[in-house]
Amino acid sequence: MNAAYAELETRFKRINLLRQSAGMLQWDLETLMPPGGAGARSEQLATLSVLAHELLTEPRVGELLETAAQPNGLDPWQRANVKGMQREWRHAACLPAELVEARSKAATECELAWRAARPANDFKGLLPRLQTVLDLAREAGRIKGEAFGAPPYDALMDEYEPGATQAEITPLFDRLAGVLPELIQSVLDKQARGPAIEKPPGPFPAATQMALARRLMENIGFDFKHGRLDTSAHPFCGGVPDDIRLTTRWNEADFLPGLMGVLHETGHAMYERGLPSDWRLQPVGQALGMSVHESQSLIVEMQASRSREFITWLAPVAAQAFGGSGPAWGADNLVRIYTRVERGLIRVDADEVTYPAHVILRYRLERALIAGDMKLADLPGAWAEGMKNLVGIVPPDDKDGCLQDIHWPGGSWGYFPSYTLGAMTAAQLFDAARLARPEIPAFLGRGDFSPLMAWLRENVHGKGSLLTARELLIAATGRPLDPEIFLRHLRTRYLESA
């Protein structure tokens, strides 16, 4: 190991410790911090961000990376670590400081304006600020694209999905888009012929929901010596691999959303906890992009926890927890509830079948906006047309149309594809896991995730960022990302099952 590489490891350890500290402060802000602490907390987080950025962008870092990248006997993990360092450094160093500051300021102002504009259904009022955010994202994409040798949109996606390209994603999404409208209608037709859903009667006390959620987390393998579950306005997974902080919200009229939120975030947590411990403060020990991270939450929430085997086990457990009885608490009824498909306007409320259509719409629109092929003023009309074609429903207003997401006002351009890439990846990994470990469904039928988690630890979690997402998927499943596996999963669950 040469001196340049050793110095880089020390530097990136400090950078990631600063980031982890900021992450814990952010968790506290979302869960426990009194409102009066907001000003001080904002300054604390900003200071940690600046310190990490300065460590990453000092002129000496570029020289060290150039030296460390030479053939010098580094092992595969160290070589992959250098690549991860180079990627982080390029993203941070290629943009002028004034552009970074302008993007941050514009996004903060636009996000605050969005919080008022959405309930007021005021797209025109938001338009000037959103245009500024878009213009700055275009400029950042142009500069990063030149630095990376990639189209601007690809360079923006790389912030969230390393190595992702439109050339690979567009055919995958086009395949889904060509099938989803007819598939959605077929599922709706099947549901209409089936028994009506019976909603389990509440109320469902939050404390009881919390106790049930903690039991399920332990079944999945979550170690409460290295994490905790709390309540917040929006579910999320934060903290650090040795101290993972999960949150959810409870609805005492319906226990299913809170429970599913916990299962989703526990999938994220298990991934973070399973990352290679020897490399946790280095780029190679970090999660492998947002689509792989999303795949781990969806394997737990969608693939495993909405399976008939798991729900058959869960039904009497939930009934006992809430003192319920009767047909509404039967496994068949809960399966129908968990797998209900509806045409809806809101992405975050969408089911497993319609959700990809929501994401594909956003992918197509933001590509066109970044490329300058569409004017921002035309977004509401383009949104309505896309929803009609892909989901089969037209929003009555912008509030439930193009104003519903925080991503674009907050400056996150290129993030949306990771959601559906994650769903496709989850289906492919779960399919491979069941082939390798045929006992997985039977264990889920006992509420036991251990065979599934063991396979994921070996084939996904423990790899960190040693491989690219494509390489990891090929190594784990024998093929690159294949939309047919995801489509087969949807047809099997929603059309062929009893």
CA distance 313 to 321: 13
- The per-residue pLDDT for 452 is 98
Q: What is the mean pLDDT of the chain?
A: 94
CA distance 244 to 268: 10
Asked if 62 contacts 89 with a C-beta cutoff of 8 angstroms, the reply is yes
Pairing state of beta strands 227-231 and 236-240? unpaired
CA distance 294 to 160: 11
Q: Which of 434, 419, 476 is nearest to 298 (CA)?
A: 419
Buried b (16+ CB within 10 A) or exposed e, 122-137: bbeebbebbebbbebb
Q: pLDDT tens digit string along 76-98? A: 999 999 999 999 999 999 988 88
Q: pLDDT tens digit string along 37-61? A: 888 888 888 888 889 989 999 999 9
159 is annotated as an active-site residue: no
Q: pLDDT tens digit string along 17-36? A: 999 999 999 888 888 888 88
Residue 237: CB partners within 8 Å, gap ≥ 6? 244, 245, 246, 247, 265, 266, 268, 269, 272, 297
Partners of 243 in beta bridges: 240
Least confident of 25-39, 145-159, 298-312, 420-434: 25-39
pLDDT band for 68, please (50, 70, 90 cuts).
Answer: very high
pLDDT at 191 over 90: yes
Catalytic residue among 9, 265, 301, 366: 265
- The per-residue pLDDT for 1 is 56
CA dist list (Å): 291 to 179, 309, 421, 457, 486:
22, 26, 5, 17, 14
- The per-residue pLDDT for 229 is 95
CA 269 to chain centre: 12
The tokens describing 156, both together, are 């923006």
Asked if 441 contacts 309 with a C-beta cutoff of 8 angstroms, the reply is yes
Mean pLDDT score, 273-298: 96
- The per-residue pLDDT for 386 is 97
CA distance 453 to 200: 31
Q: pLDDT tens digit string along 447-460? A: 999 999 999 999 99
Phi/psi at 229 (5° precision): -120, 130
Q: pLDDT tens digit string along 227-261? A: 999 988 778 899 999 999 999 999 999 999 899 99
| 3-state SS assignment for residue 148 | helix
pLDDT band for 2, please (50, 70, 90 cuts).
Answer: confident
Structure pTM?
Answer: 0.94
Mean pLDDT score, 374-402: 97
- The per-residue pLDDT for 105 is 87
- The per-residue pLDDT for 328 is 96
Q: Helices (DSSP H) in 32-122: which residue ranges?
A: 38-57, 59-68, 76-93, 97-120
CA distance 353 to 341: 7
CA distance 231 to 411: 27
CA 424 to chain centre: 12
pLDDT band for 498, please (50, 70, 90 cuts).
Answer: low
Q: How many CA atoms lie within 13 A of 64 on its CB side?
A: 23
pLDDT at 205 over 80: yes
